[in-house]
Amino acid sequence: MSKFYSSSLQKQSAELFDVSSDIDAFRGALLRQFQSLRQNSMTLAAPLSPEDWMVQSMEDASPIKWHLAHTSWFFESFILKIYDQDYKVFDDSFSYFFNSYYQQIGKMQKRSERGLLSRPSAQQVKDYRAHVDHAMAVLFENAEEDLLPKLKNLIDLGCAHEEQHQELMQTDILHGFYQNKDLPAAYEPLSPYKESVLHHISNDNKDRDCHDNGHQAGFDAEWISYPGGLVETGANLDEFAFDNEYPNHKYHLNPFELLSRPVSNRDYIKFINDGGYRNVQHWLADGWAYARAHNWEMPLYWRLGDDGHYYQYTLFGERRLNLDEAVRHVSYYEAFAYASWADAWLPTETEWEVAAASDCQDQFDKGHFLENGCPELSDHYIKRSLGDDHTHHGLQNMFGTVWEWTQSPYTPYPGYKPAAGAIGEYNGKFMSSQMILRGGSSATPKGHVRASYRNFFPPHVRWQFSGFRLAR
Binding site for a copy of itself (CB under 8 A): 49-57, 93, 96-97, 101, 103-104, 109, 113, 115-119, 121-122, 176-177, 179-182, 184, 230, 249-254, 280-281, 283-288, 332-333, 336, 348, 407-409, 411-412, 414-415, 424-425, 429-433, 459
What is the four-CA torsion angle of 107, 111, 115, 116, rounded to 10 degrees? -50
Q: How far is the CB of 30 from a copy of itself (least distance, A)?
A: 31
Residue 65 Cα distances to 68, 107, 155, 316, angstroms:
5, 19, 22, 20
Q: How far is the CB of 279 from a copy of itself (least distance, A)?
A: 10
Distance CA 418, CA 436 (A): 18
> Which amino acid, residue 148?
L
Q: 144 vs 182, which CB is nearer to a copy of itself?
A: 182
Q: 254 vs 361, which CB is nearer to a copy of itself?
A: 254
Q: How far is the CB of 281 from a copy of itself (least distance, A)?
A: 6
Q: How far is the CB of 437 from a copy of itself (least distance, A)?
A: 15
Q: Which residue in 125, 115, 62 sits closest to 94, CA to CA? A: 125
Q: 51 vs 307, which CB is nearer to a copy of itself?
A: 51
Q: How far is the CB of 440 from a copy of itself (least distance, A)?
A: 24
Q: How far is the CB of 295 from a copy of itself (least distance, A)?
A: 14
Distance CA 110, CA 280 (A): 37
Q: 140 vs 316, which CB is nearer to a copy of itself?
A: 316
Phi-psi region for residue 121, left (φ > 0), alpha (ψ -120 to 50) or beta?
beta
Q: How far is the CB of 181 from a copy of itself (least distance, A)?
A: 6
Q: Which residues make beta-bridge pairs with 456?
A: 436
Distance CA 189, CA 284 (A): 38
Q: 97 vs 310, which CB is nearer to a copy of itself?
A: 97
Distance CA 114, CA 63 (A): 7
Distance CA 236, CA 436 (A): 19
Q: 154 vs 284, which CB is nearer to a copy of itself?
A: 284
Q: How far is the CB of 175 from a copy of itself (least distance, A)?
A: 10
Strand 466-467 relative to strand 403-409: parallel, antiparallel, unpaired?
parallel
Instruction: Say if CB 193 and CB 376 are below 8 A apart.
Output: yes
Q: Which residues make beta-bridge pairs with 312?
A: 302, 319
> Which amino acid, residue 312?
Q
Q: 52 vs 359, which CB is nearer to a copy of itself?
A: 52
Instruction: Say if CB 211 and CB 379 are below 8 A apart.
Output: no
Distance CA 312, CA 264 (A): 14
Q: 52 vs 353, which CB is nearer to a copy of itself?
A: 52
